[in-house]
C-alpha cells in the first residue's frame, strides 16, 4: 500500500537562511410570516416561501408566544399590502414606506439593558466554553508539516514589516503572496500575533507553538458566537443549540487548534452568511460592509472560496428566478369539480421555473466540470504548460492595466452622485418606490425587494471596503502592488485548477462519508433530522441551510483534493441543521416543564395537579428525543477529547490526524540543544545540517540556529554527501538508510518517527492489469475497500465478505478504547546524527 502524501504542500521553497454595536433587539423571533397571505389566497400549494420558518408544530414556547404580537403586526402589514395590490399595484403606501426605511445606519454605542444582558449571558457562556476548549494547552502538539511552513513565513513577514520601506525595492526578498501556501491573510494574522506577544513579553520572544495557533483558536471561538446574530432565524433555543454544537464539535475544536487556513475560511464563510441574513432583515449598512469584508478575507485566506461562491451564488440565482416567477399565476383558480390532485398544483410559475432552471443548469454544470477537468489536464501537461503560463501572465498584465481605470471610473461615479446630492438634483427620498422597485412586491419577492431598494451608498461602500482588504493583504501592505493585484486575481485560480489534477491525498469519493460519522455523532444524526424538518416546514433560510450542507458535501467529495481539515466546511452547516432538528424537542420539554411548575405553584397544597395543556405523549416523546441526543453527545465528546487532548499527534489512532508530526521532534531538538549547550553554552551557535527531506518542520524549529545549512536532494544528487565535521545532521527517511551505512563510524545515529498516519486500507482495491485492461490512468495500489476494511482491517482473509457485527465491534472499540482498525505501522522516519566526540 502506498503511503499517504507526507507533504501536503508540494515544491515548497527551501529557506536559505533563518530570518533572524450590534442592535441586539433583533426583531421578531422565527415565526410564520405567511399568516397574512393565507387570508387572501385560496387553499392550494403555497409558492411564496416565508422569510422565516413556521414553528407551529412547537407548542406554546414562551419565546415563540412572546413575539406573537409582532408577528400579528407583520402579518397585518403583509395582508394590507397584498390586498392593496389588487387595487393599486404601486405598493406606495405610507405604512409600508415607514417599514422600508433603513435601520441602524450609524455605528452608535449604547449600554446594554438588563434584558439584553440576560439574552447575551448564555451565548457568552458558550463562547467561553468554546474558548477554553480551543486555548487549553494550545501549544502542546508539535507543528504539522503545513503549520511549520505557515509559522516560518509568518515570522519572515514580521521581520519584513519591521523594515517595511526596504520591501519596496524590486530586489528585496520580502514575503509575497504564493498560492502554494494559500492566501496571505493567515501570514499577516500570525505575524501580528507574534508582534503583539513580543511586545507583551511572552516567552521565546513571542514566537512559539502556542502563538502560532492563537489566530486560529480565536477565529474558531468567533464561530461559536455567530449564531447569536441569527437567533431570529434559528429561534432562541435553536441559536443556543447551534452555538453549543459548534463549541464541542470534534472537527471544529481540533482544527481551531491547527494553524491552517481552513478554520479562518470557515469563520469568514459563516460571518458572510450571518451578515447577508442580517442585511436582508435590517437593511443596515454595517452588515453589508461586514459581509463584503468577510468575503474578501475568505478570498484572501484560501482558493476554496471559489467553491463557496458556487454554492451561495447558485442559491442566490435560484431565489431570483423564484421571485421573478412568483408574480405569474399558474393555477390560482381551480374549479370545484377538479380532481383532488389539482389542489397540489402550484399557484404560480415559481416552482416550475425553478425546475426548468435545474433542468437547464444541470447539463451546463456537467459541461463546466468537464471543461475544468480538461483545463486542469492542459495546464499540467509539460507540453502545454508553458503556453498556459504565458496566457495567465498576459491576463495579469491586462488586469493590472485595467484596474486603475476601474478605480477612476468608480471614483468619478461617486463624485457625481455626491455633487448631485449637494446641489439637490437627486430626488429626495420620500418613501416612494421608483424604477424597477415599483414593480416588485416586497412581501412575495423579498430578495428582489432587497436588491432593487438597496441605496447606492450601501453597495459602493461595501465594494470599497472589500477592495481595500484585498489590496492591503495581497499587496502585502502595498509593498508589491503590481504583482499582488495580478497574482491575487488570477494566480490563485490558476494554482487551484492545477491541483485538481494533482488530487493530493488521493482519497476516494466516499472519504467524508467515513470520516464524519466516525467523529460527529450528534451533529450527523440530528443534522439529517434538521434536513427533514427544514424540507417539511421550509423557509428561505432553512432551505439555504439544506442547500449549503448538501452542496458542500457534494462539491468537496467531487473536488480532487480531499483532506480531513476540509470536513469543517461540511460540519459547520450540519451543526446549524442539527440545532434546528433538536429545537422542537427542547422547546416542547421546556414548555411542558414550565407548565408543570406553574401548575404546581398555583395549586393549593394537597390538591392534585390536573392541568395538562400539552399531551403527556408529546412531552415524553420529546424527552425520549433528548435522551437520544444525550446518548449521541457522549461519543461525540469522547471523540473530541481523544483527538484534541490525548491523541492529537497520534496519526495511527486518529483518522482526522493526517500525516502528523510526532512528539519525537522534541527529542531531536533536545539532542540539538544538548550539543549546543556543550559547545556554545546554549547561545544557539551550533552548526546544524538538515537534509531537505527533513526541512519541514525543522526550518521552523531551528529558526534561532542561524548557522543551519539545508542540503538539497534532487535527481542529480539523490543523497548529498556530508561533511564529517558537521556536529549534528538531521535527515529524513528518504536518505536515512544511505546515511546510516555511510557514516556509522563518524556519527551516533538515533532514529525516530517524524510523521505517522492512519491506515488507509479503506481505499478501493488496486487495479490489476489484465489482457483487456492495462490499468492506464488507474491506481495500481490501494486498499481492500471500505466494507472489508471495517470488518477485518487491511488484511482480510481470502474470499472474505462484509461482516456487520465485526465492523460494529471495530468502530465501538475505536470509539471507547482507540483500538486502531487497521495497521499502526504507517510512519515516515527521521534520524539525528551526532558526531561521536560530542555524543557522550
Give strand pairing partners of 709. Answer: 689
Q: ∠ CA 146-149-152 to the nearest 5 degrees?
A: 145
The four Cα atoms 301, 306, 307, 309 give a dihedral, to 10 degrees, of: 110
The phi, psi pair for 346, rounded to 5°, reads: -70, 150
DSSP H or E segment with residue 749? strand 747-756
pLDDT of residue 637 exceeding 60: yes
pLDDT of residue 483: 87
User: 521 falls in which pLDDT band (50, 70, 90)?
Assistant: very high
| Ranges 26-30, 364-368, 419-423, 457-461, most confident | 457-461
Integer Cα distance of 207 and 513 in angstroms: 38
Q: ∠ CA 133-139-143 to the nearest 5 degrees?
A: 115
Against a cut of 0.75, is the pTM above it?
Answer: yes
Tell me what percent of the residues of the chain surpass a pLDDT of 70. Answer: 82
Closest of 43, 45, 68 to residue 55, by C-alpha: 68
Integer Cα distance of 416 and 414 in angstroms: 5
Average pLDDT, the chain: 83
pLDDT of residue 189 exceeding 50: yes
**Region 770-793 average pLDDT:** 84
DSSP-derived pairing of the beta strands 660-661 and 688-691: unpaired
Integer Cα distance of 814 and 518 in angstroms: 9
**Region 760-786 average pLDDT:** 83
| DSSP string across 35-61 | HHHHTTS-SSB--S--SS---TTS---
Summarised one tens digit per residue, pLDDT across range 822-837 is 999 999 999 999 999 8
**Region 196-214 average pLDDT:** 94
Summarised one tens digit per residue, pLDDT across range 288-316 is 999 999 999 999 999 889 899 999 999 99
What residues contact residue 174 under an 8 Å CB cut-off, 6+ apart? Answer: 157, 160, 166, 167, 476, 479, 480
**Region 384-410 average pLDDT:** 87
Q: Using H for helix, E for strand and C for coil, what is the string for 776-820?
A: CCCCCCCCCCHHHHHHHCCCCCCCCCCCHHHHHHHHHHHHHHCCC
Residue 592 CA, chain-centre distance (Å), reads 37
Closest of 757, 755, 758, 756 to residue 697, by C-alpha: 755
pLDDT of residue 367: 87
Closest of 217, 219, 209, 218 to residue 143, by C-alpha: 209
pLDDT of residue 136 exceeding 80: yes
Q: In what order do the strands lie in the sheet with 747-756?
A: 660-661, 747-756, 827-835, 728-732, 688-691, 709-711
pLDDT of residue 524 exceeding 80: yes
User: 107 falls in which pLDDT band (50, 70, 90)?
Assistant: low
Q: How many helices (H) and strands (E) in the chain? A: 30, 6
Integer Cα distance of 261 and 796 in angstroms: 38
pLDDT of residue 46 exceeding 70: no
Peptide bond into 752 cis (omega under 30): no
User: 613 falls in which pLDDT band (50, 70, 90)?
Assistant: low
User: 268 falls in which pLDDT band (50, 70, 90)?
Assistant: very high
Integer Cα distance of 393 and 385 in angstroms: 12
pLDDT of residue 104 exceeding 80: no
Closest of 48, 52, 469, 50 to residue 278, by C-alpha: 52
Integer Cα distance of 309 and 493 in angstroms: 13
Residues composing the chain: 840
Lowest mean pLDDT among 253-257, 290-294, 586-590: 586-590
pLDDT of residue 43: 37
Task: Report, in angstroms and rounded to the nearest whole number, the Rg of the chain calculated over CA atoms.
Answer: 30
pLDDT of residue 456: 84
**Region 404-418 average pLDDT:** 84
DSSP-derived pairing of the beta strands 688-691 and 728-732: parallel
Higher pLDDT among residues 615 and 524, named by residue: 524
Closest of 351, 331, 353, 356 to residue 342, by C-alpha: 331
| DSSP string across 352-382 | HHHHHHHHHHHHHHHHHHHHHHHHHHHHHST
Helix runs in 537-663, H state only: 540-558, 568-602, 616-641
How far from 829 is each of 14, 285, 629, 791, 832, CA to CA, in Å? 20, 55, 43, 29, 11
**Region 363-387 average pLDDT:** 84
**Region 241-253 average pLDDT:** 98
pLDDT of residue 223: 98
Amino acid at each position: 500500500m502506498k503511503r499517504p502524501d507526507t507533504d501536503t504542500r508540494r515544491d515548497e521553497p527551501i529557506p536559505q537562511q533563518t530570518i533572524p454595536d450590534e442592535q441586539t433587539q433583533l426583531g421578531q423571533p422565527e415565526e410564520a410570516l405567511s399568516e397574512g397571505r393565507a387570508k387572501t389566497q385560496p387553499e392550494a400549494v403555497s409558492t411564496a416561501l416565508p422569510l422565516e420558518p413556521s414553528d407551529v408544530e412547537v407548542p406554546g414556547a414562551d419565546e415563540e408566544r412572546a413575539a406573537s404580537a409582532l408577528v400579528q403586526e407583520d402579518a397585518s402589514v403583509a395582508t394590507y399590502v397584498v390586498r392593496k395590490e389588487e387595487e393599486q399595484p404601486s405598493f406606495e403606501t405610507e405604512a409600508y414606506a415607514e417599514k422600508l426605511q433603513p435601520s441602524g445606519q450609524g455605528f452608535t454605542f449604547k449600554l446594554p439593558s438588563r434584558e439584553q444582558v440576560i439574552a447575551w449571558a448564555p451565548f457568552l457562556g458558550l463562547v467561553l466554553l468554546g474558548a477554553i476548549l480551543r486555548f487549553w494547552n494550545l501549544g502542546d502538539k508539535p507543528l504539522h508539516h503545513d503549520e511549520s511552513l505557515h509559522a516560518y513565513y509568518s515570522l519572515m513577514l514580521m521581520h519584513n514589516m519591521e523594515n517595511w520601506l526596504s520591501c519596496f525595492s524590486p530586489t528585496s526578498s520580502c514575503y509575497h503572496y504564493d498560492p502554494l501556501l494559500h492566501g496571505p491573510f493567515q501570514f499577516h494574522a500570525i505575524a501580528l500575533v507574534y508582534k503583539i506577544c513580543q511586545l507583551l513579553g511572552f516567552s521565546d520572544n513571542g514566537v512559539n507553538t502556542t502563538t502560532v495557533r492563537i489566530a486560529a483558536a480565536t477565529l474558531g471561538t468567533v464561530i461559536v458566537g455567530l449564531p447569536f446574530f441569527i437567533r431570529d432565524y434559528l429561534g432562541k433555543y435553536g441559536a443556543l443549540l447551534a452555538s453549543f454544537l459548534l463549541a464541542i464539535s470534534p472537527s471544529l475544536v481540533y482544527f481551531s487548534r491547527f494553524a491552517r487556513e481552513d478554520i479562518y475560511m470557515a469563520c469568514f464563510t459563516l460571518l458572510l452568511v450571518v451578515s447577508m441574513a442580517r442585511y436582508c432583515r435590517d437593511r443596515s449598512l454595517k452588515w453589508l460592509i461586514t459581509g463584503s469584508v468577510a468575503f474578501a478575507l475568505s478570498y484572501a485566506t484560501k482558493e476554496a472560496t471559489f467553491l463557496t461562491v458556487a454554492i451561495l451564488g447558485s442559491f442566490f440565482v435560484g431565489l431570483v428566478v423564484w421571485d421573478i416567477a412568483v408574480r405569474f399565476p399558474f393555477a390560482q383558480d381551480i374549479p370545484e369539480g377538479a380532481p383532488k390532485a389539482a389542489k397540489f398544483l402550484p399557484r404560480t410559475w415559481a416552482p416550475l421555473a425553478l425546475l426548468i432552471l435545474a433542468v437547464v443548469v444541470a447539463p451546463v454544470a456537467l459541461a463546466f466540470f468537464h471543461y475544468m477537468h480538461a483545463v486542469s489536464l492542459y495546464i499540467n501537461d509539460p507540453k502545454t504548460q508553458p503556453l498556459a503560463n504565458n496566457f495567465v501572465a498576459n491576463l495579469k498584465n491586462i488586469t493590472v492595466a485595467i484596474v486603475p481605470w476601474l478605480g477612476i471610473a468608480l471614483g468619478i461615479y461617486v463624485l457625481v452622485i455626491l455633487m448631485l446630492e449637494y446641489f439637490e438634483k437627486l430626488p429626495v427620498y420620500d418613501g416612494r418606490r421608483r424604477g424597477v422597485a415599483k414593480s416588485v412586491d416586497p412581501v412575495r419577492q423579498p430578495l428582489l425587494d432587497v436588491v432593487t431598494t438597496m441605496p447606492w451608498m450601501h453597495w459602493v461602500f461595501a465594494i470599497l471596503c472589500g477592495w481595500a482588504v484585498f489590496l492591503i493583504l495581497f499587496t502585502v501592505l502595498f509593498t508589491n502592488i503590481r504583482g499582488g493585484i495580478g497574482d491575487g486575481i488570477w494566480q490563485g485560480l490558476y494554482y487551484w485548477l492545477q491541483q485538481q489534477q494533482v488530487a493530493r491525498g488521493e482519497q476516494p469519493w466516499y472519504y467524508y462519508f467515513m470520516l464524519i460519522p466516525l467523529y460527529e455523532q450528534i451533529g450527523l444524526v440530528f443534522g439529517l433530522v434538521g434536513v427533514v424538518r427544514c424540507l417539511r416546514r421550509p423557509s428561505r433560510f432553512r432551505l439555504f441551510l439544506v442547500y449549503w450542507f448538501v452542496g458542500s458535501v457534494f462539491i468537496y467529495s467531487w473536488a480532487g483534493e480531499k483532506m480531513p481539515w476540509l470536513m469543517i466546511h461540511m460540519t459547520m452547516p450540519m451543526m446549524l441543521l442539527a440545532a434546528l432538528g433538536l429545537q422542537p424537542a427542547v422547546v416542547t420539554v421546556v414548555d411542558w416543564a414550565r407548565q408543570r411548575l406553574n401548575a404546581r405553584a398555583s395549586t393549593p397544597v394537597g390538591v392534585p395537579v390536573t392541568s395538562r395543556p400539552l399531551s403527556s405523549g408529546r412531552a415524553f416523546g420529546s424527552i425520549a428525543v433528548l435522551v437520544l441526543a444525550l446518548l449521541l453527545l457522549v461519543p461525540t465528546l469522547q471523540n473530541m477529547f481523544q483527538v484534541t487532548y490525548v491523541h492529537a499527534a497520534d496519526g495511527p489512532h486518529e483518522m482526522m490526524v493526517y500525516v502528523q508530526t510526532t512528539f519525537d521532534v522534541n527529542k531531536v531538538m533536545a539532542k540539538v540543544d544538548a550539543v549546543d549547550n556543550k559547545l556554545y553554552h546554549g547561545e544557539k551557535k551550533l552548526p546544524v545540517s538538515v537534509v531537505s527531506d527533513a526541512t519541514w518542520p525543522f526550518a521552523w524549529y531551528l529558526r534561532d540556529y542561524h548557522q543551519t545549512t539545508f542540503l538539497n536532494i534532487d535527481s542529480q544528487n539523490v543523497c548529498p554527501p556530508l561533511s564529517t565535521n558537521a556536529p549534528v545532521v538531521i535527515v529524513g527517511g528518504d536518505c536515512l538508510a544511505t546515511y546510516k551505512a555511510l557514516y556509522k563510524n563518524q556519527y551516533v545515529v538515533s532514529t525516530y518517527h517524524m510523521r505517522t498516519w492512519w491506515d488507509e486500507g479503506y481505499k478501493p482495491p488496486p487495479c490489476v492489469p489484465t489482457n483487456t485492461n492495462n490499468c492506464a490512468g488507474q491506481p495500481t495500489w490501494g486498499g481492500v475497500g471500505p466494507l472489508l476494511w471495517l470488518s477485518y482491517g487491511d488484511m482480510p482473509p481470502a474470499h472474505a465478505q462484509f461482516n456487520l457485527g465485526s465492523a460494529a465491534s471495530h468502530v465501538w472499540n475505536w470509539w471507547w478504547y482507540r483500538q486502531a482498525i487497521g495497521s499502526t505501522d504507517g510512519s515516515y522516519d527521521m534520524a539525528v546524527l551526532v558526531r561521536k566526540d560530542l555524543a557522550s
